[in-house]
Structure 1
Amino acid sequence: MRICILVTGEPPAPLDNQFGDYPSMFERLIKPAAPHFRFSVANPLRGEKLPAVSDFDGLLVTGSPAGVYEEHEWIAPCAELIKRTAAAPKPQVGICFGHQLMAQAFGGKVIKSDRGWGVGVHDYRISQTAEWMSPPSNQIACAVSHQDQVIEVPMGAKILGGSDFCPMGVLEYAQGPAMSFQQHPEFMHEYGTALLRLREDRIPADRFGVGIDSYNNRTDRELMGKWIANFFMMHGN
């Protein structure tokens, strides 16, 4: 199965040299559950042409420091690719910014939340289960790093999970085989901690401290990697 990773953000220097780029993080996350997947990368941030839908079997949209409501020239073409992928119909998964862009592309609403920064490891309750959530769990703990949130879901979307801080944290869409997480399962603890320390001056001290301490806790990132692989395999042609 050919998975195209649509790059909408890159690790800040100097973390890129230490931890690699986001496509490599996603490959490390998903490969154990789907060793037969083949990955390609499309990076519109570097002026690369976006792929045709026929070029891949599934699409994965990464996180980004950008906001989906900002006027970057690459955002609208990425949203159109999401719509074309849904219409194909081919499976796609969105992570953080990808979660927000997917929701917006299908008719939802995203804002910079007055709840402020979400950082560290957050627990999301799973309120509705889906077939691809195997093995099942009623809660997932995973890294987050965001200020923006989905506040209105597209028509027909299911809210599968979230938290009091981020109620619309896991979505599945009616427009095509598509689902998304606000969390960052591709973040290893070491990367999440390093990224948070790099952003210390932007984040309230109390929230920063709790976020750093939370990386001492276990996460369900491997489980979420299995869920992502399951979703692609269940909806692939």
Structure 2
Amino acid sequence: MKIGILQTGLAPAELAAQSGEYPEMFADLLKGHGFDFASWAVVNGDFPSGPEAADGWLITGSRHGAYDDLPWIAPLEELIRGIVAQERPLVGVCFGHQIMAQALGGKVEKFKGGWSVGPTHYTFGTDTVTLNAWHQDQVTELPPGAKVIGHSDFCPFAALHYPGRAISVQPHPEYDDGFIKGLIDFRGRGVVPDEQLNAATGALGTPLDRAAMAAQFAHFFKTKELA
């Protein structure tokens, strides 16, 4: 099965040499599940020919906002609607989660309550899932037909399910602690309050459910159903 990765942001240069760019990080997260990967840097205007260019799709995170006036946002939204119309499985992460919601009729805003950074606990049904977060923007209005499957006190729409079509999550299962530490050092200072960055640094080492979320993504790609 070929998974097309739509790259909507660039990893910090200080981290990319070790971690790879976001498509490589997701390919590593999903290794062992039997997928082949292709990627398009839509952030640089590189788009696939259409939804049929891959069997399933994944949209990465980005430092940009879904509401930003950028030339690639509208074409990406159109591509998202095309993928959904063709019922090809679609997964979105962070910015991907947000742009999917916006493209399908929801709303995304810069959250007045500030940032979520580092290991964060989310409720998925009766389970607590811990993943690294790095965001201020949030989905604030649900698209028609979207179901909330994960939330936290800070982020009520942290994971969405579009039955038979898509799932998306606000946190970053592709981010390990080393990458979060790099974001704190190279992108966080002067943007996120120091007290919050220091707390996130202190929480590094908290066990993360990255493999479980990767398995959920893989299951959805293969079946278009939740695990």
| Aligned match of 2:111 | 113
User: How big is the alpha-carbon RMSD for the aligned residues of Structure 1 and Structure 2?
Assistant: 1.3
2:181 is aligned with 1:193: yes
Q: Which residue of 2 aligns with 1:91?
A: 89
1:28-74: CA deviation from partner (whole Å, max 9, x where unpaired): 11112x1x211000112233233311111001000000000010000
RCO comparison, higher one (Cα < 8 Å, 6+):
1
Partner of 1:215: 204
Deviates more, 1:99-108 or 1:211-220: 211-220
- CA drift of 1:86 comes to 0.4
**Which amino acid in structure 2 is aligned with residue 78 of structure 1?**
L
Match of 1:133 in 2: none
CA contact (8 A) 1:108 1:150 kept: yes
The answer to whether the 8 Å contact 2:166/2:224 transfers is: no
Q: Deviations over 1:3-38 (max 9, x none)?
A: 000000010111111211111110111112x1x211
Deviations 1:144-202 (A, max 9, x none): 1001000111112110011001110010125x511100000001111111112212221
1:181 corresponds to which of 169, 187, 198: 169
CA distance in 2, matches of 1:144, 1:28: 19
Q: Which runs of 5+ in 1 are unaligned?
A: 128-136
Output the CA distance in 1 between the equivalents of 2:137 and 2:5: 22
How far did 1:123 drift? 0.4
Q: Which residue of 2 aligns with 1:48?
A: 46
Secondary structure of the 1:201 match is coil
Q: 1:61-80 maps to which residues of 2 (within 5 A)?
A: 61-80=59-78
Residue identity in the other structure for 2:145: G
Is residue 2:150 matched to residue 1:157?
A: no
Distance 1:158 1:100 in 2: 14
Residue identity matched to 1:17: A
Alignment TM-score, normalising by the size of structure 2: 0.95
Deviations 1:200-222 (A, max 9, x none): 22111221111111212110011
Mark the runs of 5 or more structure 2 residues left unpaired by the alignment: none
Distance 1:121 1:186 in 2: 13
Contact 1:94 1:180 in 2 (8 A): yes
- Cα distance in 2 for residues equivalent to 1:121 and 1:164: 14
Question: What percent of counterpart residues are identical?
Answer: 41
Q: Which residue is equivalent to 1:132?
A: none
Distance 1:214 1:178 in 2: 31
1:143 aligned onto 2:143: no
TM-score by length of 1: 0.91
Q: Deviations over 1:62-97 (max 9, x none)?
A: 000000001000011111111000000110000000
Q: Is residue 103–residue 150 contact of structure 1 (8 Å, CA) maintained in 2?
A: yes
Matched AA of 1:172 = H
Give the counterpart letter for 2:153 in structure 1.
Answer: D
